[in-house]
Amino acid sequence: MSRTHIFRAFLLLVVVIVLAGCSKAEPTPVPDAGTADTASGEQSAPEGRTPGMDGVNGLALGTLRLEGTENAVTPAQAADILPLWEMIASGSLQGEAETTAVLKQIEGKMSESQLAAIEDIGLTFEDMGAWMEEQGVEMPSRPEGQQGGGPGAFGNLSEEERTQTRQEFQNMTPEQRATRMAEMGLQRPEGAPGGGFGARPGGGSGAWQGGGGRFNALLTPLIDLLTGRAAE
C-alpha cells in the first residue's frame, strides 16, 4: 500500500472519530417543579377568599359582615351588585362555572380592602349558623312536592335563552326584576317589599326561594340590604 493510501485512510479514521464525538447528545437539564409549572402555564388554582365556605355563601355572608365597618358596601356599589346577586338568586345560572363568573363580576365591583376584610374574617359554616341565629334568619322548609336540586323555572330553557334572561335581568330596574321573577314563578317571601326581598311578618327573615331549587338563607337579607342601600 502506498503512502498516499495510508495517509488517506488515517485521515478518514480521524474524521470518523471526530464526528462520533460531536454526535453525542448533551444531557437535557431537568427544570425544577416551579420552572416546569411556569413554562407549561399550569399553576395551582388559587385558594378562595373563604376556604371554609362555598363561594356564594362566603361572599354573601362576608358582605353582610362588613356592615357597621368602614368597608361597608356603598350605595353605588349596592346598585351595581344588586342585579348580579338577584341573578344568582333567580336560578338562571347554569352550573358552577357561570355562578363563579358572576361572583367574579361582583368582586370586581368591590374594593380590594373590602375583599381583604372578608378574607381576613376567615368565615366558616359555623359563622353562618351563628349569624343566622343572631339575626333571626330561618332556614325555610322545601315546598311540598319540590325536589332538591331540580332545574325549576329555568330547567327547560336553552343556553341561548338563559343568556338572554341574564342580560334582561342586568338591564332591569328592581321593580322590573321583581315583576319578571313573579311572571316566571319565582316567589318572594310573603310580606317582602316590592323592590326587594325583605323580612317575613313576625320578625325573622326567611330565605328567598328560587325556582332553581337553591335555598340560600343569606340571599334574602343580602338582597334586602343592597336594595335599601342602593336607594340611599
Assess contact for 196 and 173: CB atoms under 8 A: no
Q: What angle do CA 128, 131, 137 make, to 5 degrees?
A: 100
pLDDT at 65: 92
Among residues 200, 195, 199, the alpha carbon closest in space to that of 227 is found at 195
- Mean pLDDT by runs of 10 across the 232 residues of the chain is 59 56 47 37 40 81 93 96 90 83 93 93 84 73 43 53 65 66 48 36 37 59 93 93
Assess contact for 133 and 201: CB atoms under 8 A: no
41: in domain: no
Among residues 205, 158, 185, 200, the alpha carbon closest in space to that of 90 is found at 185
pLDDT at 94: 79
- Find the DSSP H helices in the chain: 3-22, 33-40, 55-65, 75-90, 95-109, 112-121, 125-135, 159-171, 174-183, 219-230
Look up residue 79 and give its three cell numbers. 346598585
pLDDT at 29: 43
pLDDT at 134: 84
22: in domain: no
Look up residue 46 and give its three cell numbers. 388559587
What's the total number of domains in the chain?
Answer: 1
CA dihedral 229, 118, 166, 223 (to 10 degrees): -30
Domain ranges, residue 178 = 55-135+153-230
2: in domain: no
- Return d(Cα 66, Cα 59) in angstroms, integer: 11
- Return d(Cα 12, Cα 17) in angstroms, integer: 9
pLDDT at 166: 62
Beta carbons within 10 angstroms of residue 197's beta carbon: 26
Dihedral sign of CA atoms 208, 213, 214, 217 in order? positive
- DSSP secondary structure of 50-93: -TBS-HHHHHHHHHHHTTTSTTPPPHHHHHHHHHHHHHHHHT--
124: in domain: yes
147: in domain: no
pTM of the complete model: 0.54
Assess contact for 89 and 56: CB atoms under 8 A: no
99: in domain: yes
